[in-house]
């Protein structure tokens, strides 16, 4: 609630976007280092196999062991980074659902119109996030559906997830299809969000 006055500010969404990008870039960076360490390990193994005498073979074996430890190190780093990234996505989506659901409940209790501009823009921010980071979200679709977008969820909120699911299926059936250029996504990024009087309606 204490962040509500700032909820329509652009910097808040930039912070969210920056946080997600940081998680993705961190995973990508570790993947690159992991691939380099694997290539290095393969080179060391080839050198060990071609060692001319036992002393050199022993030294190269130690180098292979060091390269294996380096690979294991990056594998663990990647696992931790991917787990953190998944947690970030789940937390972000969960908070969106909680905020939107709370708005719907409050509006119905007070007999107010639920489909305010604030509600539509917030919902479209959720849709935009899911579409923009579709590569990562695709890996979590089952988890999102199992834990967050359950049959009990408000249809107005679950509709966002179902629309993103359809976009993923389209991109699978038609590889040239770009979800980020669909009318659904364009509507979410072109629709104005900052409307101060709508915040008061929340």
The residue with greater pLDDT, 76 or 7, is: 76
pLDDT at 173: 57
Residues 20-43 pLDDT 10s: 999 999 999 999 999 999 999 988
Q: Which among 35, 36, 39, 57 is positioned nearest to 48, based on CA atoms?
A: 57
CB 67 within 8 A of CB 41: yes
Query: What is the residue whose two structure tokens read 């107010």?
Result: 112
Residue 113's pLDDT is: 87
pLDDT of residue 24: 95
Report the predicted TM-score, pTM, of the whole model to 2 decimal places: 0.73
3-state secondary structure labels for all residues of 4-45: HHHCCCHHHHHHHHHHHHHHHHHHHHHHHHHHHHHHHHHHHH
168-182 pLDDT tens trace: 666 665 555 565 555
Give the angle 31-132-149 at the CA atoms, nearest 5°.
100
Which of 100-104, 161-165, 197-201 is predicted least confidently? Answer: 197-201
Three-state secondary-structure class, residue 193: coil
**Which ranges of 50-182 does DSSP label H, i.e. alpha helix?**
54-109, 117-132, 134-139, 141-143, 155-173
- Residue appearing with tokens 């691939």: 35
Percent of the chain with pLDDT over 70: 74
Predicted confidence at residue 149, as pLDDT, reads 78
DSSP string spanning 56-94?
Answer: HHHHHHHHHHHHHHHHHHHHHHHHHHHHHHHHHHHHHHH
């Amino acid at each position: 609630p204490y962040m509500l006055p700032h909820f329509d500010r652009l910097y808040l969404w930039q912070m969210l976007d920056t946080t997600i990008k940081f998680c993705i870039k961190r995973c990508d960076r570790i993947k690159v280092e992991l691939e380099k360490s694997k290539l290095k390990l393969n080179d060391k193994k080839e050198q060990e196999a071609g060692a001319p005498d036992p002393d050199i073979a022993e030294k190269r074996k130690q180098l292979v062991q060091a390269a294996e430890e380096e690979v294991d190190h990056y594998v663990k780093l990647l696992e931790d980074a991917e787990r953190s990234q998944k947690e970030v996505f789940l937390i972000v989506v969960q908070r969106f659902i909680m905020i939107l659901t709370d708005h719907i409940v409050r509006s119905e209790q007070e007999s107010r119109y639920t489909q305010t501009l604030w509600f539509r823009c917030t919902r479209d921010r959720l849709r935009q996030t899911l579409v923009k980071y579709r590569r990562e979200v695709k890996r979590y679709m089952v988890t999102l559906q199992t834990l967050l977008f359950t049959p009990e969820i408000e249809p107005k909120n679950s509709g966002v997830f179902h629309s993103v699911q359809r976009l993923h299926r389209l991109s699978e059936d038609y590889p040239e299809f770009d979800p980020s250029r669909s009318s659904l996504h364009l509507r979410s990024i072109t629709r104005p969000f900052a409307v101060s009087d709508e915040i008061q309606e929340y």
